[in-house]
Amino acid sequence: MKFTHTTRSLKGELTVPGDKSISHRAVMFGSLAKGTTEITHFLRGADCLSTIDCFRKMGVEIQEFPERILVHGKGLHGLHAPASILNCGNSGTTTRLLAGILAGQTFSSEITGDASIQKRPMERIIKPLLQLGASVKSLKNNGCVPLKIQGHPLKGIHYHSPVASAQVKSCILLAGLYSDDITSVTEPSLSRNHTELMLSYFGARVRAEGTTSSIAPGSSLYGASVKVPGDISSAAYFLVAALMVPGSEVLLRNVGINPTRNGILRVIRSMGGEVKILNKIIVGGEPTADLLVHSSHLHGTVIEGTLIPSLIDEIPILAVLATVAEGTTVIRNAEELKVKESNRLNLIVDNLSRMGADIESTEDGMIIHGGRTLRGTVIDSHLDHRIAMSFAVASLIADGETEITNAECVNISYPAFYEDLFRLI
Ligand code: S3P
């Protein structure tokens, strides 16, 4: 896809699609609940459709209507053995959370995914699942999918996770639903807590204190109504576009601003950016608000430490933002970006360098000296949705033409991304 327009400013309002993490969890927990779960503003991206497909293969009836999804839950022990291998597509959340659920079943199953998922590390879930008592085998012996999982009676454990990862934490907590005692996870810093919030909302006995979350086994989940807030990770592209392009004013409606996800708002503030938080409400435990953003004069900042998990998916677009900020932006402690849908650290630095930015990579992040004008070039998305969207936004401030290859990979998390972007410019 080619971007040749000269952007004057972004104006208008937008409701971004539903949060990806929350949409996945609503289908999964709804499947394990008694009764029906109604999900509105569900994200119909390829990742969440992979989750629906996997649960349908285990006998869950899931109805899709234009305005809502109905999940007819089977209860904690009602899933069937799937007749075929469960395909999680490109979705790390489906793969890792599903593995935790499968570890608690009485049947054996296999899960796999696309070429990208087949390279992502699964040792981080295999190790705790083995400690819980499940049998989990990487069929190619490389610590990746395909995995064969045989559920066993599980025992409660306390696990110290070496990474701040909500996928790892959620995998363990979900297996903990099936164990004989309390299961808890301590992380090096707090990752997103949608699992804890939604499992409580569905009736599970979950506790969270500092960086430790725990679950008591056995309690039934009950179907509920889930109103999915807009995804702050999708809103991020428009926040950054509006901040960078002079004369812009954009209102983003109904965006999730959960403190474990809203690091981008804190970074924008620290860079001098203007984002107003309006009409704040709490829905299903998840804080949600309208965000009004104006173009702003920005300066460099440091993004590191406990902030990283709260903006992990926004680092590619924040790197684009840093190219227009006055002075230097340092991003560190972000090594997790190397094992996302692509090696995002490499792709950000490589592509922004080729656009003319002053950027260098470090062991666990990057250093960006702002102020150089970007120029258009060909950007290989490597089929990574967040790389494609970040560089579509970078094209708005670049001279000349930017071409993004495999641009349709935005289907993973934001199928109407380009239409929404073109509507505002
Ligand atoms: C997610 C957790 C994060 C995030 C991913 C979604 C989730 O991954 O990058 O896009 O829904 O739990 P990690 O848990 O690997 O950090």
Residue tagged active-site, from 313, 380, 384, 420 = 313
How far, in Å, CA of 344 to CA of 352, rounded? 12
Q: The tokens 């079943």 sit on which residue? A: 105
Beta bridge partners of 403: 2, 378
pLDDT band at 5 (very low <50, low <70, confident <90, very high): low
313 lines ligand 1 (CB under 6 A): yes
Reply yes or no on whether 313 is catalytic: yes
- Ligand 1: centre distance to CA 247 (Å): 34
Number of DSSP helices (H) and strands (E) in the chain, helices first: 12, 25
pLDDT band at 7 (very low <50, low <70, confident <90, very high): confident
For 267-287, what is each residue's pLDDT tens digit?
Answer: 999 999 999 999 999 988 999
Q: Is the pLDDT assigned to residue 246 strictly greater than 70? A: yes
For 91-105, what is each residue's pLDDT tens digit?
Answer: 999 999 999 999 999
How far, in Å, CA of 186 to CA of 208, rounded? 10
312 lines ligand 1 (CB under 6 A): yes
166 lines ligand 1 (CB under 6 A): yes
- Looking at every residue in the chain, the average pLDDT score rounds to 97
165 lines ligand 1 (CB under 6 A): yes
Cα 421 to Cα 5, 15, 16, 55, 69, distances in angstroms = 12, 12, 11, 33, 26
Query: Are 248 and 223 in contact, with CB atoms under 8 Å apart?
Result: no
Structure tokens, 281? 């409400």
Question: 338 Cβ partners below 8 Å, 6+ apart?
Answer: 344, 345, 346
Q: Which atom of ligand 1 has the smallest separation from the CA of 163?
A: 16
Pocket test for ligand 1, best of 167, 174, 338 (most atoms within 8 A of CB): 167
Q: Which atom of ligand 1 has the smallest separation from the CA of 97?
A: 12
161 lines ligand 1 (CB under 6 A): no
- Ligand 1: centre distance to CA 222 (Å): 25
Across 260-285, b (16+ Cβ under 10 Å) vs e yields bbbbbbebbeebebbbeeeeeeeebe
310 lines ligand 1 (CB under 6 A): no
For 126-171, what is each residue's pLDDT tens digit?
Answer: 999 999 999 999 999 999 999 999 988 999 999 999 999 999 999 9
